[in-house]
Amino acid sequence: MRAPEELLGFAHRFVPATEGSRETLLLLHGTGGNEDDLIPVGRLLAPNAALLSPRGKVLERGMPRFFRRLAEGVFDVPDLVARTHELAEFVRAAADHYDLDVAGITAVGFSNGANIAGSLLLLHPGLVRQAVLFRAMVPFEPEGAVALAGTRVFMGSGRHDPLIPPSGSERLAAILREAGAEVTLAWQPTGHSLTHEDVEEARRWLAAPVARP
């Protein structure tokens, strides 16, 4: 029998949910990370949720990433688009393989992982209806209309991030809002690194009751 990563296309870790939870966190690591990096963060964000954590397939000087870049902050957009479609296929296959409720999947990404999560929202609207994006920037400017009504997004950004100016975070929030998403942009007085305050604020956001029309 083939291993799950051979069936689903990505080396990954899967941690089943507990106490009957149908929630799943799709954990997407940053440059140089792997499928283990965000498992502790996922446990803090949603203790009972299933955790699905793939490893990026692109290597940059030996460091795993989810898509290629041409320089710091300059993305290889065709590769990003292709890799985003590939990630969407993985999410659908994993949901079927592990009997996950697709409606209960929340994407949680840091840096490179947050950028491909943003791309996933824009290229596959409705596949993931909730996302936590830590230190995300605009993956690309959409050419056409995107329908994200009913999608919630938490963005954790650093006021002193040397890689992403505040205007970059604000532009991504604007793109998502223009598409109809409900966006919370939370600032920390820090740089690019993920902090305890980021995780705690995102945890509270995830735990808050969602108002439905």
CA distance 6 to 104: 24
Catalytic-residue membership of 111: yes
Q: Which of 124, 137, 100, 136 is nearest to 26 (CA)?
A: 100
Q: Which of 21, 85, 192, 193 is catalytic?
A: 192
Angle, in degrees to the nearest 10, between helices 112-123 and 77-97: 80
Q: Please count the residues of the chain.
A: 213
CA distance 167 to 173: 10
Catalytic-residue membership of 36: no
Q: Which of 29, 161, 169, 198 is catalytic?
A: 161
Catalytic-residue membership of 157: no
Alpha-carbon dihedral sign for residues 169, 175, 176, 181: positive
DSSP 71: E
- H-run or E-run covering 45: helix 39-45
Q: Which of 111, 119, 157, 169 is catalytic?
A: 111
Angle, CA 182 vertex, CA 39 and CA 178 arms, to 5°: 120
- What are the catalytic residues? 111, 161, 192
